[in-house]
Structure 1
């Protein structure tokens, strides 16, 4: 059993007794500005320097990342949350939002000692919304048990099926708005029953773009009618959500010049007025290149962040997430990271003082944030928990999808473990794969590749020779759609290897297999996830000679 530390009583017995208006009336402009931000800090524990930074900046809310906070195990995270609560309450007299991205699948910041879920598209493929409900309960139990009171999830974007390459992909529940709504509803019910607040990502919809906003600004050219019937639908369904996160995407039908996160037309006229949404609107991280004018130098990056924050507030955002400038042309130091955050907060103060922003506008947002914070978990007696591996394994097994014909699968024959097996997989999952093969007592010739290593003809030739010498080859693809050499290798193996001797397994983008129509000629599985139990589900199906029951959450013929 994991043991977690208790959080401090949030001085906030007073905070919860007063009205939001009373609390607001006692705040300085600097304190109000600090409440508008959720940002990161460095350290597995709070150093004296970091405590001084939090006091000085009046930063009101934090987000955890493994690269900045270690996130080594529940004990370390719980102790950190206790320090964060103590320090921020002392500095601001208001309890902080303590958040992280725990979506499941490829986006789950808490791993060691926590349940590793396959993710949203895997849930969608089970066609069992109750598994989403159970997932939500486990997420809430685990996060609140280490002092995290706000989950930056779920993703309710509708993935546009025939878009290449996918950006959101397996982070979504699927391509049908009603399917997305059904699963999101149950996961949200599970989280809220256990006292965890959440945010809907990424309004008004990020599933219809192929460009990664971390790197550049995407544009969606769909008509308003098309958006209403698809991308907008899940967000409009959940107007009682405590928070919505806006996307860094230009929607030409709404505002052809400005990304939604900085657009008054989208943030205020659409979400706040047309939809009637009354909760907290927060931006996606303003450290992304999609919303920054110039990150060529530290000074220019700081100014770009300040301007983006001002534009977001002017657009109607209540809260600004600010991550690290990891896509800038330079590598910031830890001290520079703190400086970016402080100057962004100071920029709000200065622009109220010089009349660019009104304090009334700031007050509106701080009031919404206070009201939401008064609903945050006040868990001060933290219980231990054990990762729910059984639930994760059930989701993985029920989501495993056979794309090809069952008759092709039967061609593999019986006696899986007796065959001479070759496993070809990306280097990223080597440790997980080796651990899983050892646990299941499977002997296999294993070859792990990096995308760049496939540029070497001798590496590709070694893989093909190993496949030719095996009775059954399992090729695990990972974003082959984005890497031409991996895709070419898969097509060459398909040409040179008979169906009974080759099985393709898509770990992420289904179009690794669908795009080349490999499912028409060879056995093809989809796991939608590279997690341990998703890998194990493949071998279990082969050993037990069962037909996978998962259903791809969109029509191949759409």
Structure 2
């Protein structure tokens, strides 16, 4: 391999379009070539990441995804690590017909390592069938800060032990046996731990004031468990940890964090990948040319999504030629990347069948069975639940879950917003007039930016009708005073179906709070009937 080819192996980039060979003007803008296949050929990249958003839309149908994967692999001399963020729950890039699961915090409420492993195994099987061989999951953060704006339900728990158990289970489920054709490389993230932040590293550089001793007790256990389980890769966090590294460098660029803690203290010798290098958290202190070189100096192997791929690759090549980085250092990281690809069967895998079938009946049944265990009953004053209302009303902050639940309950619905306006609140109150029970789906009720949700709930409680409040995101909403509270932790189809079963008495709530709700309910609280 030439130096340029070796450096290319260390980069994972986005591409534009849903076909490897279809021209897309955004590829010309970002990479100077028109197709995704040409991006792979030009830069010799080691990996590509799929997205499903308006600006980077790679995802449509399973058949289309499989064809895209095959086309990109055909364009690459060395088989690609094709990745996505399929954490399930809140962060899910590939929706139905792929099997959907309710996400990590719901699994934390379910308390079953067997279920966590099964969910990961099914997810891996379906991803690999579409040609995706690396999943940037599981999230190994311990959500110890209720105000965390970016982790929240992506974490299993505020309890390090429970989080560690479920991280290990999901690593095993994703990776299965060595060389398995149904497995993906798992990625534990975000090292050294993003759970105690109050800011979002996509838009700022958060600060975590943990000491090393606190880190070892709170944040390290899930990563240690992932390493013991054989995790293929670990993703860094763009956070400052001044009591661990007083230089102020974000962890991604910190030799003390990446090499000192992860390589030396935890003895991890797998692939270390950065979080996206386009995020504000890593770009605050350095230029886009400096960042990839500093990350490699810190001990990182893979560089994810630099803003300017051409600049980033040329910066690393120039650093080697100037002696700032040695070619031996590049070789160390290339070896780790190729080893991961070898052990996960990526180097020897052929094209995938483009007539791929996902969301099979056994997979969907397993997803529902797993979701049924996660619903947490926090409060049921007056034994309101279970109920059989004749004219129920479902009020929700978003349309899909509200519609799904209203259909299941044969109820009316009223959709507001995450921060309802006075007019939306009044419309919901008016709709409640003819109802004999109200179900209110909340999401981030406690956030200072969403006062309308509190007002909405208070106004509906004031109607005197039976009100069931349901926290569909983080369960901290249940601290608000309402006589009946449930928590689902997600709005996925299986999660809403599990909620309906509990409301109607078709299933008993089994979940336990996976976090402390400050001033209200302790970790492990949960009712049943």
Q: Which TM-score bucket, shorter chain as reference? A: 0.7 to 0.9
Q: Is the aligned partner of 1:36 residue 2:5?
A: no
| CA-to-aligned-CA distance 1:146-197 (integer Å, 9 cap, x gap) | 111111111111110x532453111111111111121122222222224321
Matches within 5 A, 1:142-541: 142-160=126-144, 162-193=145-176, 194-239=182-227, 240-256=230-246, 257-293=248-284, 304-322=287-305, 340-377=308-345, 378-380=348-350, 382=352, 384-387=356-359, 388-405=363-380, 407-408=381-382, 410-411=383-384, 414-416=387-389, 418=390, 420-427=391-398, 430-435=399-404, 437-438=406-407, 440=408, 442-451=409-418, 454-455=420-421, 457-482=422-447, 483-493=449-459, 496-498=462-464, 501-514=466-479, 516=480, 518=481, 521-541=482-502
Cα pair 2:394 2:406 within 8 Å, conserved: no
Q: How far apart in 2 are the matches of 1:248 and 1:198?
A: 20
Secondary structure at the aligned position of 1:380 is classed as coil
- In structure 2, the CA distance between the partners of 1:497 and 1:244, relative to structure 1 (3 Å rule), is same
Q: How far apart in 1 are the matches of 2:330 and 2:436?
A: 67
Unmatched 5+ residue regions in structure 2? Answer: 24-33, 177-181, 524-529
Tell me how far 1:548 sits from its aligned partner. 1.1
| CA-to-aligned-CA distance 1:400-431 (integer Å, 9 cap, x gap) | 110104x43x2357433x2x21111123xx13
* Mean CA deviation greater in 60-69 or 101-110: 60-69
Q: How far apart in 2 are the matches of 1:307 and 1:131?
A: 43
Cα pair 1:72 1:112 within 8 Å, conserved: no
Q: How far apart in 2 are the matches of 1:415 and 1:402?
A: 17
Cα pair 1:414 1:545 within 8 Å, conserved: no
Tell me how far 1:436 sits from its aligned partner. 5.1
What is the number of equivalent residue pairs in this alignment?
Answer: 489
In structure 2, the residue matched to 1:333 is none
| CA-to-aligned-CA distance 1:110-152 (integer Å, 9 cap, x gap) | 1132001100111111122111111121012101111111111
Q: How far apart in 2 are the matches of 1:267 and 1:282?
A: 10
Cα pair 1:125 1:551 within 8 Å, conserved: yes
In structure 2, the residue matched to 1:81 is 69
Give the number of the structure whose residues are more often helix, by fraction.
1
Cα pair 2:165 2:225 within 8 Å, conserved: no
Tell me how far 1:45 sits from its aligned partner. 0.5
In structure 2, the residue matched to 1:97 is 81
Q: How far apart in 1 are the matches of 2:109 and 2:494?
A: 15
* Mean CA deviation greater in 460-469 or 167-176: 460-469
Unmatched 5+ residue regions in structure 1? Answer: 1-26, 295-302, 326-339
- 1, 20, 43: which one aligns with 1:46: 20
Tell me how far 1:306 sits from its aligned partner. 2.2
Secondary structure at the aligned position of 1:244 is classed as strand
Provide the alpha-carbon RMSD of the alignment: 2.1
Q: How far apart in 2 are the matches of 1:112 and 1:425?
A: 21
- In structure 2, the CA distance between the partners of 1:435 and 1:138, relative to structure 1 (3 Å rule), is same
Q: How far apart in 1 are the matches of 2:499 and 2:444?
A: 18
- In structure 2, the CA distance between the partners of 1:238 and 1:451, relative to structure 1 (3 Å rule), is closer
Matches within 5 A, 1:18-33: 27-33=1-7
TM-score (norm 2): 0.87
Q: How far apart in 1 are the matches of 2:250 and 2:374?
A: 35
- In structure 2, the CA distance between the partners of 1:432 and 1:525, relative to structure 1 (3 Å rule), is closer
Secondary structure at the aligned position of 1:446 is classed as strand
In structure 1, the residue matched to 2:27 is none
Tell me how far 1:491 sits from its aligned partner. 4.9
In structure 1, the residue matched to 2:103 is 119
TM-score (norm 1): 0.83
Q: Which runs of 4+ in 1 moved over 6 A?
A: none
Tell me how far 1:358 sits from its aligned partner. 2.0
